Structure 1
Amino acid sequence: MNQVTKVFWFSLVISIIFVAWGVISPKYLESVMTVWKGFFLNNFGWYYQLIATFFLIFALFLVFSKYGKIKLGKDEDKPEFSRPTWFAMLFSAGMGIGLLFFGVSEPISHFSTPPVGEGGTTQAANIALRYTYLHWGFHAWAIYATIALVLAYYKFRKGLPGLMSVTLYPLIGEKVKGPIGTVIDIVAVFATIFGVAASLGLGAAQINVGMNYVFGIPNNFTVQLLIIGIVTLLYLVSAATGVKKGIKYLSNANLILAVVIFFLFLFLGPTVFLLDLMVTTFGGYIQYLPSLGLRLAPFNKENATWVQDWTIFYWAWWIAWAPFVGTFIARVSKGRTVREFVIAVLVIPTLVCVIWFAVFGGTGIYLEIFEKLKVSEQSLETALFFVYQQLPFAMVLIVLTLFLISTFFITSADSATFVLGMQTTNGSLNPPNVVKIIWGLILSASAIVLMLSGGLNAMQTAIIVSAFPLSFVLLLMTASLLKSFREEVKGKKKKRKV
C-alpha cells in the first residue's frame, strides 16, 4: 500500500459514502439523481453533441496530419502485443457486455419508436440501424482513441506517470502536482466507477434473464445480487494475475467466442437479407453521419426526449468510459505510431459494431416485419433471448451467450480494477493486488447501489453527471497534446538543421 496516493484515499472515502447512501436510502438517492439527470439533459444536450463531434474531427485530423509518424514510445520501441491480441484486448475492454445487451434490443426499439417518422416501416428499419451505428460507431471510438493516444504518448514517449492530470503539464505546469491535479484524477476515478458499474449492472440483469430462459431461475434482484457476487470473485482472481495473463487470455477467449456466436447467428438467420441490410444501412450511416451526429429536436419535445434518452446518454457514457478504456488501451499500445493507433482504434471496432448490429438487430427486425413476431414488445434484457428462441439450436446459442456475457463481465471489471489501480497509485503499471481488490469491491457495490436506486435510469444519471466535468478535462488534454506535438516536430527540424 506504499504506492497509494491522496487520490486513492479521497476517492475511497467518497465511494464508501456513496455506497452507504444507496444502501441506507436508495429512494432518496434515486430522486436526487433523477433531478440531476433532467438538469443536464435539458440544458446541455447541445454541448454533448458538439463535443462528441469534436473528438471525431480531432481523430481524423491526427490520421492525416504530420504528427502521424510519431511513435507512442521511444523510436526503437516495438509493440508489446501482436495485432490480433491487441485488438482483442481493446475491444473486450471497450464494449463487450453492451454489444450483447443492446445487440437486438436497441435496433428493434428504434424500429418500433424511431427518432423521426412512423414506427414499424421499412424507413424506420433503415433509420433504426443508422442511429445504432451512430451510437456505437466512429464518434464513440474517436473519444476512446483520442484519450488513449494522449495517455500513451505522455506515458511511453515522455516517461510520465499514466495519469489524466499529468497530461495537462504542458498547459498548467507544476500545478498538476497540487490540488488541481488531485481533483482531475478523482473526477476520472468516479467517471470510471460509474461507467463500468452501469455495464456490470446490465450484465447481471441479462445473465439473470438468460438463466431464467434456460433453467427457470427467478428473474429478480436477489439472483442478480448473487450473480454479481460470484462474478466479482472471478474477476478479482483474474485481476490478481495481471495484464499479461488473466486479461490477455480472457480477451482472446472473448473474441473467439463472440466470432463463433456471430457466425452461428448469421447463418442460422436470414443470411442474405442481413448482408443486404448491412450494406444499405452502413451506406446511409456514412451519408448522413454529420447530421446524425449533430441532431437535436428544438421544435418537437417528443423527438427531443428521444435524442436525450439515447444519443446524449451514449455520448456521456463513452466520455465516462474514456479514462477507463483510454488508460487500458494506452497500457497495451506501446510502440504503435499515432497514425496506426488512431486508424486501428477508430475504424476496426466501428466496422465490427456495424456488422454485429446489422446481424443481430437486423434479425429482430426481420422477425417483426416478415414473421409478424412481437420482438419490440420484449424488454431490453429479454429481446436477444426471444430472438434466439426463433432460431435453430436456440439452447446452444443461449448457453454460449451466457458464458460470453460472463467473460465480458469479468474482463471489463478486471480491466477496470487495473485502471483504477493505476489512477490511484501514481500511474503504476503494476498496481498492488490489494488496491485492485478494493476497487473491484467498490465497483460491484456501486453497481448494486445503482440497481437498488432505480436500475437503468440511475445508471444513466450517474454516467451523465460524471461525464460533464470530465469532458472539460478531455478537451484540455487534446490542447496539451497538440502543444507537445508541435514542440516535438519543431525540435526535430532544429536537429536536422544542425
Structure 2
Amino acid sequence: MSFFPKIRTTLSKGVILPSLLFIVGISLLAAVLPSQTNQLLNSIKNFIFINLNGVYVWSVTAFILFLIYLMFSKYGTIKLGSNNSKPEYSFFSWISMLFAAGMGIGLMYFSVAEPIQHFSNEAFSEHTVVQRARDAQMYTFFHWGIHAWAIYAIVGLALSYFAYRYKLPLSLRSCFYPLLKDRIKGKWGNTIDVFALCSTFFGITTTLGFGVVQINSGLQQLGIVPENNFIYQILIVAVLVSLSIISAVSGLDKGVKLLSSINIIAVVILLLFVLILGPTVYLIGSFTEGIGHYITNFFNLTFNTHAFDEKTQPWFYDWTILYWAWWISWSPYVGLFIAKISKGRTIKEYIAAVLLLPTLFNFIWMSVFGNSAIWFDMHIANGALSAIASNPDVLMFKFLDYLPLSQITSFLTILIIIIFFVTSADSGMYVMNSIATKNAKISPKWQTIGWGILLATLSLLLLNAGGLAALQSMTLITALPFSIIMLLFIISLIKALTIDQKYYDTDFSSTTITWSGDTWKERLKQIVSFDDKQTVHEFIDTTVKKAFEDLEAEFAKNNIDAKINRYDHPYKLEIEIKHDLINNFIYGVKTESKIVADYLLAEDNLPDVDSNKTFYPMSYFGDQRQGYDVHIFTKNELISDVLKHYERFIEIISENKNEMFVSSNTNHKLR
C-alpha cells in the first residue's frame, strides 16, 4: 500500500520533460550569469538581425500575400469546422478575446513610448519636425498593423483549420499533417510542440515581467507605493498571478471572456477621454492623413531593408526586425488562443476580422495617444517627453499629467494593464497546458496552477537578477526557425485546402450519367472491384474492342473512314477518324494505375484490396482533354460516350471562329 496517492496528470512526457529542462535551464543561466548570458544571446540575435533579416522581411510578406489570396479565393467560404458548424462566441466576445491576447500590455506600454522614440530618434534628426511626427505615426502603424496580425493569423488559421476541419488535436504538430502524416504522433510532433511550448513560455515571461515594472511605475506615480523596487514587484506578481490562476481555472467562457469584455470597455473610455480632452481636431486630421500615408507607403515599408541608408539601418534592426521576430515568437501562443475561439468562422471571415479589425483599432489607439504625446511635446512640454523617451515605463503616466484628471486616468490605465496582465497570463496558462498535454480535453486544475506558479517564479527570478533582457534575446532568436516553420504551414494549408475543395467539388463520375436501375447489381460489383493489369487488358480487348468495331462498321455505312489503332506501350486501343485540314478525331482507352490509400487496405467495411496499386481503363482524346475511368461502361454505353464526343467534335469544327484552333498539320503529335 502506497502512502502517497497517485497524482492524475494529462501531461505528455515527450513534451513536458525536455521543455521544462530547457526552460528552467535557460532561466537559471540568465539569472545566475545575467550579463554573460545576455551578451552571448544578444550577439547571436544581432548576427541574425543584421545578416538574416531578409528571412523575416520575406516571411512576413509571404504571410500577408497568402492571406489576401485566401480571402478572395474560392477557399474563402470553407469553414473552420464542419460545414454546418456555428461560432461558439458572439462577434464582440470573439474580437475582444483575440485583441486582448494579441496585443494587450504592449498597447499600453508602447502607445506613447514608440511614437515619441521614433520622433526623437537620432536616425531621423536631419528630417523636419513635421516629417518626423508624420513618420513616427507611420512606423508605429507599420509595426502594429496588418503585418503583425498576419503573423498571428497564419498560425491561428492553420491550427483551427486542421483541428476543426480535419479533426486533429489543437496542436502545432497537427499543422504538419499533410507533410508528415502519422509521423506527427511521434518524435517529430513532440519536437514541434517542445519548440512551441518553450517559445510561448519565454514570450509570456518577458512580457509579463515588463508589465509588472510598468504597473509598479504607475503605482509610484500615483503615490500608492513609494518606489519601484523588487519587494513591491513580488507583491504585484503574487496578486496578479493569483487572479490569473482563478480566471484560468474558471475557463475561457467565464474568466477570459468576461475580463476581455470589461477591458475593451475600459480601453474605449480611456481612448475617448484622451480624444475629447486632447488636441481633438489635430488628432482627427492626423489619423486621416496617417491612414493615407500608411496605405501609400505600404509596399515601400514592407520591402524596405534600409540597405541604401546606413544611418537608419540600426534603427531598422532595433525596431522593424525586432518587432517581426517578437510577433513571430509570440505567434504559437496567440495563434493557439485565436484558434481555440475561432471554430465555426469561415476562412474569409476569419482573415478579414483578424487582419483588419484589431489593426484599425490599433491605428486609432496609437494615433490618439502617440500623436497627442507628440503634440504636447512640441507645443506644451517643450521636449520634456522626448527627454524621457528612453524610460518607457513612465512615459504613459507622464503623458497623462498633461491632461485633466491625471490621477483618475492613471488609475484607469493601471487597471487596464492589470486586466491585460491577467488575460495574457491566464490564456497563456491555458495554451501552455494545451501544448504540454497534446490538447487533452480535461486536465486536473493543479496543472494550470502549476503553470501560473512557474511563470511567477521565473519572472521574479529574472526581474531580480536582471536576466529579462537575456530571456528576451532568447525569445527573439527562436523566431528565426519558427518563421521557416510558419512558411511550411502555408504549404500544408495549400495542400489541405486543395484536397478539401476538390472533395466537395467532385461530382458524380461522367460514366454514371447513362445509368438506369436495370442492372444495379452488376453496377455494385463493378464499383467495389479493384482490378489488376490483366483484368484491364481483358476489358480493353473485349468490351472496348467490340464497341470500336461496331462503331467502325457504322461509320463506314455513313461514308466515314474510321480506323482502330492498337498499342502495347502503354496498352491502349483507340478509334481514329483522320482529316487533312483539321485535327483528327480520336477517342481511346488506355491502361492507367493509381495508388490506393493505406487506410483502405486496413478498413474492413470497404471493398477488398490486395495491393496499394490498382489499374483501370481511362479514356483519352485527340485534343488532349482530361479523360476518365470507363471500367463501369457496358459496350453500348461506351459507344454512346464515343458518339457524344464525336458530336462535340463536329459542333466545334463547324464554327468559323474555331478555324485557326482546329486547323492543324500536327496530327501525328497528338498520340
Q: TM-score, normalised by structure 2?
A: 0.72
Query: How far 1:460 sits from its partner (Å)?
Result: 3.7
Partner of 2:10: 3
Q: Could you tell me which of 409, 416, 439 is aligned with 2:428?
A: 416
Q: Residue in 2 aligned with 1:256?
A: 265
d(CA) in 1 for partners of 2:377, 2:444: 51
Structure with more helix by fraction: 1
The C-alpha deviation readout for 1:54-97, integer Å capped at 9, x for no partner, is: 11111111111110000011111111010001100101111010
> Are the equivalent residues in 1 in contact too, given 2:27–2:471 (CA < 8 A)?
no
Is contact 2:9–2:444 with CA below 8 Å preserved after alignment? no
Q: Which residue of 2 aligns with 1:369?
A: 378
The SS at the match of 1:74 is coil
The alpha-carbon deviation at position 263 of structure 1 amounts to 0.6
Equivalent residue of 2:104, what SS? helix
Aligned to 1:84: 92
CA distance in 2, matches of 1:226, 1:400: 20
1:48-63 to structure 2, matched below 5 A, reads 48-63=56-71
1:29–1:221 Cα change, 3 Å: farther
Greater alpha carbon shift after TM alignment, 95-104 vs 115-124: 115-124
Post-superposition shift, 1:2? 3.4
Output the aligned Cα RMSD: 1.7
Contact in 1 for aligned 2:89/2:341 (Cα 8 Å): yes
Rate the CA distance shift 1:265–1:240 in 2: closer, same or farther, 3 A: same
**Is 1:425 the equivalent of 2:437?**
yes
Alignment-mate amino acid for residue 447 of structure 2: V
Q: Secondary structure at the match of 2:59?
A: helix
Distance 1:225-1:34 versus aligned 2 partners, 3 A rule? farther
Is structure 2 residue 348 aligned with structure 1 residue 339? yes
| Contact 2:41-2:473 within 8 A present in 1 as well | yes
Separation of aligned partners in 1, 2:441 and 2:355: 25
Q: Is the 8 A contact 1:30 1:453 kept in 2?
A: no
Corresponding residue for 1:32?
40
Q: Which amino acid aligns with 1:187?
A: F
Check conservation: 1:239, 1:436, Cα contact below 8 A: yes
CA deviation after TM superposition for structure 1 residue 454, in Å: 4.6
* Corresponding residue for residue 250 of structure 2: 241
Structure in which a larger fraction of residues adopt strand = 2
Alignment of 1:475-486 (within 5 A): 475-486=487-498
Alpha carbons 1:27, 1:453 under 8 Å: kept: no
- Name the residue aligned to 1:464: 476
Which runs of no fewer than 5 residues in structure 1 stay unpaired?
none
Partner Cα distance (2:228, 2:358) in 1: 32
| 1: CA distance, partners of 2:449 / 2:128 | 47
How far apart are the structure 2 equivalents of 1:196 and 1:129? 27
- The separation in 2 between residues aligned to 1:295 and 1:445, in whole angstroms, is 41
Alignment pair present for 1:180 and 2:188 = yes
1:302 aligns with 2:314: no
Structure-2 residue corresponding to 1:141: 149
The alpha carbon displacement at 1:117 in A equals 5.5
Counterpart position of 1:493 = 505
Distance, in Å, in 2 between the alignment partners of 1:443 and 1:392 is: 37
Segments of structure 2 that go 5 or more residues without pairing to the other structure are 1-7, 513-671
Residue identity matched to 2:233: Q
**Residue 290 of structure 1: aligned partner:** 299
Contact 1:112-1:120 at 8 Å conserved across structures:
no
Equivalent-residue separation in structure 1 for 2:187 and 2:327 (angstroms)? 26
Preserved CA contact (<8 Å) 1:29 1:453: no
2:166 match: 158
Structure 2 residue aligned with 1:272, among 275, 278, 281?
281
Which has the larger displacement, 241-250 or 224-233? Answer: 224-233
Per the TM alignment, residue 119 of structure 1 is displaced from its structure 2 partner at its CA by 5.6
Distance 1:148 1:431 in 2: 22
The answer on whether the counterparts of 1:203 and 1:409 sit within 8 Å (CA) in structure 2 is yes
Pair 1:320-2:329 in alignment: yes
Partner Cα separation in structure 2 for residue 193 and residue 471 of structure 1:
17
> Matches of 1:302 and 1:4 in 2, distance apart?
50
Distance apart, 1:172 and its partner CA: 1.6
Deviation, structure 1 residue 438: 2.1
In structure 2, relative to structure 1, the CA distance for the partners of 1:464 and 1:164 (3 Å cut) is same
Cα distance in 1 between the residues matched to 2:108 and 2:81 = 35
1:439 corresponds, among 436, 448, 451, to 451
Cα separation, 2, equivalents of 1:448 and 1:495:
61
Letter in 2 for 1:163: S
Task: Report the more deviating stretch, 428-437 or 357-366.
Answer: 428-437
- 1:23-82 deviation per Cα after TM superposition (whole angstroms, max 9, x unaligned): 333233222222222222122112111111111111111111110000011111111010
1:331–1:308 Cα change, 3 Å: same
Shift of residue 450, structure 1, vs aligned partner: 4.4
- Of 397, 402, 405, the residue aligned with 2:417 is 405
Is the Cα contact below 8 Å between 2:200 and 2:329 reproduced in 1?
A: yes
Distance 1:34 1:112 in 2: 25
CA offset at residue 467 of structure 1?
Answer: 1.0
Distance 2:445 2:163 in 1: 22
Task: Kindly indicate whether the alpha-carbon contact (under 8 Å) linking 1:167 and 1:480 is maintained by their aligned counterparts in 2.
Answer: yes
CA distance in 2 between counterparts of 1:348 and 1:8 reads: 36
Q: Distance in 1 between matches of 2:188 and 2:364?
A: 43
Which moves more between the two structures, 466-475 or 455-464? 455-464
Cα distance in 1 for residues equivalent to 2:467 and 2:291: 32
TM-aligned CA distance change 1:314 to 1:373, over 3 Å: same
Residue 352 of structure 1 and its aligned partner are, at CA, apart by: 0.3
Letter in 2 for 1:384: M
Inter-partner Cα distance in structure 2 for 1:82 and 1:171 = 34
Residue 66 of structure 2 corresponds to residue 75 of structure 1: no
Provide the rounded CA distance (Å) in 1 between the counterparts of 2:90 and 2:60.
Answer: 30
**Which amino acid in 2 is paired with 1:261?**
L
Provide the rounded CA distance (Å) in 1 between the counterparts of 2:200 and 2:266: 26
Q: Distance in 2 between matches of 1:76 and 1:114?
A: 56
The partner residue of 1:197 within 194, 205, 226 is: 205
Is residue 2:127 matched to residue 1:132?
Answer: no
Q: 2:616 aligns to what?
A: none
- 2:114 counterpart residue number: 106
Which amino acid is 1:140 matched to?
A
Aligned partners of 1:476 and 1:431: how far apart in 2?
30
Task: State the identity %.
Answer: 38
Seen in structure 2, the aligned counterparts of structure 1 residues 193 and 102 have a Cα distance that, compared at 3 Å, is: same
Mapped partners of 2:354, 2:449: distance in 1: 29
Distance 1:244 1:329, change over 3 A: same
3-state secondary structure, aligned to 1:81? coil
- Confirm or deny: 8 A CA contact 1:74 1:156 kept in the other structure: yes
Tell me which amino acid in the other structure corresponds to 2:404: P
User: Per-residue displacement from partner, 1:349-374 (whole Å, max 9, x unpaired)?
Assistant: 00000000000000111011122242
Distance 1:469 1:290 in 2: 25
Deviations 1:184-231 (Å, cap 9, x if unpaired)?
111111111122122202211110110110015201334223322221
- TM-score, length-normalised on structure 1? 0.96
The 1:2–1:113 alpha-carbon spacing in structure 2 relative to 1, beyond 3 Å, is same
1:353-368 counterparts in 2 under 5 A? 353-368=362-377
Q: Which whole-Å CA distance do the structure 2 matches of 1:332 and 1:432 have between them?
A: 21
Q: Which residue of 2 aligns with 1:20?
A: 28
Question: For the residues of structure 1 that align with 2:311 and 2:247, how far apart are their CA atoms?
Answer: 45
User: What's the CA shift string for 1:387-446, capped at 9, x where partnerless?
Assistant: 100100111100001111001000001101000111111123444322222222232334
Rg (Cα) greater in structure: 2
Post-superposition offset of 1:496: 5.7
1:67 & 1:259 partners in 2: Cα distance? 35
Distance in 1 (alpha carbons) for counterparts of 2:460 and 2:289: 41
